[in-house]
Chain A
Amino acid sequence: MADIYKKIDNKEYKNRTLTEMTSTQSDKVQTIIQNFVNFFKNA
C-alpha cells in the first residue's frame, strides 16, 4: 500500500464552504478588475 500523507472525504473537499467576502474586500476586488479592464483597453 502506497504511503498516504493526508486524507479527506471526497465529498468534503468537493463541497468546500464558500464564505462571503467583506464588503470592503469585495469593493477592492471589483476595483482591481475594473482597473485591469482600463489598463487592457489602453494597452
Chain B
Amino acid sequence: MKGVLFSADFAIDENDDPRLLELNTDTVIYSSFTSSINWSNLTDVINNDSNIKEFHLIYKKKIHDREAPLISESIASNCTNIETYSTTEIDIDDPYPASPGDSGSKFILRLAYDESAVFDSVYCKNNVNTLKLFYDNDATSSITEFFHSSSFAEINNISGVVGSDNFLPQFVIKSTEPRKESHKFLSVSGSITDASAIADLATGSTNTSNYIERFYYSPDQITNNKTRSLRSYNIIYGDDLDIIKLGSGSFDAIFNYQTSSNFRELPDSINTLPYKHYYEFTNKFPHSYTVNSHGFLGEELIEKPDGTYISGSVIDSGSDVKSFFYSGSPDSDDMDLVDAWSQEGFATPSGSFLRSASVVQATSASLENNGINQIEVSGSPDFINVGIGTRLMVYSTGSNITKYVVAQDIDPDDHFIVNILSSSLVPITNNYFAMPNNDLDLYAINVEPDDSYFLKVGNLPMNFQVNVHNFK
C-alpha cells in the first residue's frame, strides 16, 4: 500500500470560509505545527490492517529532517505489528524517487515529490490544474476566483468584486510553473469601481504562463495588521485514495502590512506592488535550500591573502582569497557531507593552518523575495548580511559541537560564531530582514582547495562555508 503526505493551503474569504490555493508534496511541516500533528491517525490505519508488517519512508533529508524521526518514533511506539522499518533518502533535486516494490504487507509513505505520480506532476506542480478540477465540477466556492488563458485552458472566474482595504492587494499573479517567477501582487486604482472594468484590468495583466486570482482576506482574521491563512496536512493512500487527516491550523504572515501608503492612490489603473511586501501578503516560509538563498550582499568584504579586502560584488574567478585548512572538516563540495560533519568543542584542531585559495567560480543571483539574514555581533555595531541558506561555522552550547549551520537555522540562544584564528566564541544576534529594493543580488564564490574563506565583520574575520551546489 502506498501513501503520500501533502499539504493544502487555503485563503480565508470575507465570510471566513476557506478557499483552496494549492496542494503540495515535498512539503515542510512547519515547526509550529509539529506538536499538533496527529500521527496516531496514520498508525491507526496501519494497525487496522494486520497484513502490514513493513513500513518504508521515502523522504528528503534537507526538507523532512524534522518529520522523518517523528514518523519513525510514532511507528516504533504504536505499531507493534511492524517488523521492518526502512527508509529511502532522496536527493533534494531528484524528481523521480526510487521506491521499493509494493505489496499488501507494506505501507510505503512518500514525502518526496514524484514527477511520475499524477497527483504530484499534474495537481501539485501546476495550481491551474487543481483549480480547473474544481471549476469543471462546479465547485467554485471552494477555490479562488481565477483567470487563465493558454492553449491548455481558457477559464475566467474573476467577478471583479474585490476587498476594500487600501493597504492590501486585490489580485495576485502566480506562475503556472513552480518557482518560475515570484508572485506579483496587484492593486486597482480607487477611481475604478465598476466590477467588470476591474475584472478586465485583472485578466489583461496575465500571459499564457501564469494565472491571476483574487486576493482574499477576512477582516475578522486580521490581528495587528497581519493576514492569516490556513494549512492542512493529510496523507492520501491506497487504491481507493483514502484520506488520513494529520493536522491543520491557521497562522499569521511574517510581517504586519503597512498602513502608510494607500495602494489605491498609485498612478496607474492597475499597479504591481513592490516585492518588499511579499511576506506581508503571503504566509509562506522562506526556504534556505533554494538556489537564490546562498551568498552575501555585494557590500560585504572578502579578505585577500595580503590582509586587504575586496568587495563581494567585484571579486571574480581567478582571484586569490585568504582561506583556512580546518583539520578534520570534509574536503568536499557535497553539502550532505558538510552538513553531517561536526567536531566536539570549539577549539581549532592542531594541524589547521591559514593559506590562500583560488576563486574558481563567482556568481550572482537575484535576492529571492527580498529576504536576508543579518548576523550581528552582540553588543557591537558589526554585522554581515547573508542569504538565509548560507552556511556559517558555529558552536552549539547545547550539544558541545562545532559545525556549519545555515543562517536561517542559527539560534543565538544556542549558537556562537567560532573565531577559528583564536579558538574563541563570538556571541551573536540573528534577524531576518526584508529589503526594500527589487534589484539586490546575492553574490557567492567557490574557492579551492579549501572551501572556506573569510568575510569581514567589523574588525573580526568570520569563517564562512560556500555551498557549491547553489551554482548548478
Contact A6 B433 (CB under 8 A): yes
Q: Closest residue to B388 on the A side, CB-wise? A: A10
Is B389 an interface residue when CB atoms closer than 8 A count as contact?
no
Q: Decide yes or no whether B17 CB sits under 8 A from chain A.
A: yes
Once bound together, how far apart are the Cα atoms of A1 and B36, in whole Å?
A: 41
Q: Identify B435's interface contact among A5, A9, A17, A32, CB under 8 A.
A: A5
Give Cα A31–Cα B435 distance, bound, in whole angstroms: 39
Contacts of A35 in B (CB 8 A): 134, 137, 139, 142
Choose one: B8, B32, B299, B435; the contact of A4 (CB below 8 Å): B435
Closest residue on chain B to residue A24 by CB atoms:
B16
Partner of A16, one of B32, B142, B413, B430: B32
B92 within 8 A of A: no
Interface string of B233-254 (1 = CB under 8 A from A): 0101000010101001111101
Interface string of B8-46 (1 = CB under 8 A from A): 101010001110100100000011110010000000000
CB-defined contacts of B12 to chain A, threshold 8 Å: 25
Task: Assess whether B431 is in contact with A16, with CB atoms less than 8 Å apart.
Answer: no
Contact B251 A18 (CB under 8 A): yes
Neighbour of B23 across the interface among A9, A10, A36, CB < 8 A: A36
Given A10-B430, A16-B254, A40-B119, A29 and B134 touching (CB < 8 A)? no
Given A16-B254, A18-B251, decide whether A37 and B241 contact each other with a Cβ distance below 8 A. Answer: yes
Q: Tell me the chain A residues, 7-43 only, with Cβ under 8 Å from chain B.
A: 7-11, 13-22, 25-26, 28-30, 32-37, 39-41, 43
Q: Chain B: which residue is nearest A31 at the CB level?
A: B142
Please give the number of chain B residues whose Cβ is less than 8 angstroms from any Cβ of chain A in the complex. 59
Cα–Cα distance between A32 and B139 once the two chains are bound (Å): 9
Selected contact of A2 from candidates B142, B251, B299, CB within 8 Å: B299
The winner among A2, A26, A41 for most chain B CB atoms within 10 A is A2
The answer on a CB contact under 8 Å between A29 and B8 is yes
A33 to chain B, nearest CB (A): 6
For chain B, residues 296 to 312, give those with C-beta under 8 angstroms from any C-beta of chain A. Answer: 297, 299
Contacts of A20 in B (CB 8 A): 36, 249-250
Cβ-closest chain A residue relative to B253: A16
CB of B130 closer than 8 Å to a CB of A: yes
Which residues of the other chain, A, contact B18 by a CB distance below 8 angstroms? 25, 28-29, 32
In angstroms, Cα B248 to Cα A32, docked, is 13
Chain A residue nearest in CB terms to B385: A2
Q: Which residues on the B side are within 8 Å of A39 (C-beta)?
A: 133-134, 136-137, 139
- B436 near A: Cβ within 8 Å? yes
Bound form: Cα–Cα A35–B136 in Å? 12
Closest to B297 in A: A2
**Structural contact, B8 and A18, CB atoms closer than 8 A:** no
- Nearest residue in B to A3 (C-beta to C-beta)? B436
Q: Which of B251, B385, B432 contacts A10 (CB 8 A)?
A: B432
B459 to chain A, nearest CB (A): 17
Instruction: Say yes or no: A7 contacts B134, CB within 8 Å.
Output: no
Contact B433 A36 (CB under 8 A): no
13 A-B pairs whose Cβ atoms sit less than 8 Å apart in the complex: A4-B435, A6-B434, A10-B408, A18-B36, A19-B228, A21-B230, A32-B18, A35-B134, A35-B137, A39-B133, A39-B134, A39-B136, A39-B139
* Chain B positions near chain A (C-beta within 8 angstroms): 8, 10, 12, 16-18, 20, 23, 30-33, 36, 119, 123, 130, 133-134, 136-137, 139, 142, 228, 230, 232, 234, 236, 241, 243, 245, 248-252, 254-255, 276, 297, 299, 370, 373-374, 385, 408, 410-413, 429-437, 440
Sort A-B residue pairs by CB-CB distance and give the 3 closest, nearest first. Answer: A18-B32, A5-B436, A10-B430
Q: A1-B299, A41-B241 are in contact. List 5 more A-B contacts (CB 8 A).
A: A10-B410, A14-B408, A19-B250, A25-B230, A36-B130
